[in-house]
């Protein structure tokens, strides 16, 4: 069997995920991302050169992994009705409080999320910085409704359910998760999440007090955009962003101007979690994705030898 992996985008950058797996003449597109910087697209001209693909596999439904599907299908001159598409809904964070995690099977070759590079601190609301933020009168957390929104809604409700508020998109995401996607949850949380979905107070731009968990994470649309429009030029409330600050987004503008705070909340594997992943699957070769410098993963503390592929390698033969 002859196989190789073409890196279209997503290696050597925090860019859209898009790879092409070629196996004995068959072509499988892995992910079709857009952004997260200014709606950035994968290099569509490379897809035109490659030609037809036999299928598309989306790792999960977030925009930077699936947002360019329409543009890619148009480039290929086809539609979702003519090409098989396979997908899951969930991102990967082994230490999540809410979402479950299944250890992957053994694999000699691994594409892994290196977004956080060598960052290795766990999530904890007990940190002094979090304590200070949560002590404020009003605080707004713009987050992806289908991602860390559920994590914050659950954790905040454990601390003080009277202070926690959510918008309609987050409420709908909670309801979908407990009715349709329970397999993604850690066991034993369904009842508590149902309670949050049905009893949490509504977020309102006219009521500043409380902890507002609202969509979306870039504050480019939804309730978050309304909050920014109403309060950006005021001292209060406090805005706290917890994810990647994409170029051209209100989130980046507010943080860089000093109007908002940025505090990382892990939704991708930390350094030690990636080391454990590569060790547990017995990887022989690996590609760090979504980081500017894959070389930070050289010389990992793993007993068996491991080859790390760098950003200059665009066509990688598979073992």
- pLDDT bin (cut points 50, 70, 90) of residue 65 is very high
Mean pLDDT along residues 31-36: 92
pTM of the complete model: 0.92
- pLDDT bin (cut points 50, 70, 90) of residue 51 is confident
Mean pLDDT along residues 19-30: 93
> Read out DSSP for the chain?
--EEEEEEESSSSS---EEEEEETTEEEEE-----SSTTPPP-HHHHHHH---SEEEES-SSHHHHTTHHHHHHHHT--TTTS-EEE------TT-SSB---PPPP-SEEEEE-TTTT--PPP-TTSHHHHHHHTSSEEEEE--TTTHHHHHHHHHHHH-TTTEEE-HHHHHHHHHHHHT-GGGBPTT-HHHHHHHHHHSEEP-TT---EEEEES-TTSSSHHHHHHHHHHTTSS-SEEEE-S---TTSHHHHHHHHTSEEE-----S--HHHHHHHHHHTT-SEEEEESSS-GGGGSS-S-SS--EEP-TT--EEE--
Q: Domains of the chain (ranges plus CATH)?
A: 3-92+102-118+269-317 (3.60.15.10), 128-262 (3.40.50.10890)
Mean pLDDT along residues 34-57: 88
89 has a pLDDT exceeding 70: no
Looking at residue 80, what is its pLDDT? 60
């Amino acid at each position: 069997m002859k196989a190789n992996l073409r890196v279209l985008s997503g290696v050597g950058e925090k860019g859209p995920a898009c790879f092409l797996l070629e196996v004995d003449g068959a072509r499988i597109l892995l992910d079709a991302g857009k952004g997260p910087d200014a709606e950035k697209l994968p290099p569509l001209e490379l897809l035109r050169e490659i030609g037809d693909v036999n299928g598309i596999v989306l790792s999960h439904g977030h925009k930077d992994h699936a947002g360019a599907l329409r543009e890619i299908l148009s480039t290929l001159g086809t539609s979702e009705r003519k090409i098989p598409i396979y997908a899951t809904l969930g991102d990967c964070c082994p230490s999540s409080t809410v979402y479950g995690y299944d250890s992957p099977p053994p694999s000699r070759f691994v594409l892994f999320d290196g977004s956080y590079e060598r960052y290795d601190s766990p999530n904890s609301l007990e940190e002094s910085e979090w304590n200070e933020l949560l002590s404020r009168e009003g605080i707004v957390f713009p987050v992806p409704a289908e991602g860390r929104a559920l994590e914050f809604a659950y954790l905040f409700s454990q601390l003080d359910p009277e202070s926690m508020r959510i918008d309609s998109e987050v409420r709908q995401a909670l309801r979908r998760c407990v009715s349709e996607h329970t397999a993604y949850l850690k066991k034993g949380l369904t009842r508590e999440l149902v309670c949050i979905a049905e009893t949490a107070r509504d977020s309102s731009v006219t009521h500043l007090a409380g902890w507002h968990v609202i969509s979306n994470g870039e504050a480019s649309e939804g309730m978050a955009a309304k909050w920014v429009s109403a309060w950006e030029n005021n001292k209060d409330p406090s805005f706290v962003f917890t994810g990647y600050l994409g170029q051209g987004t209100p989130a980046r503008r507010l943080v860089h101007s000093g109007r908002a705070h940025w505090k990382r909340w892990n939704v991708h594997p930390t350094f030690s979690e990636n080391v454990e992943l590569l060790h547990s699957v017995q990887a022989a070769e690996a590609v760090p994705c979504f980081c500017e410098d894959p070389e930070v993963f050289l010389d990992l503390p793993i007993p068996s030898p491991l080859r790390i592929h760098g950003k200059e390698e665009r066509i990688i033969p598979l073992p």
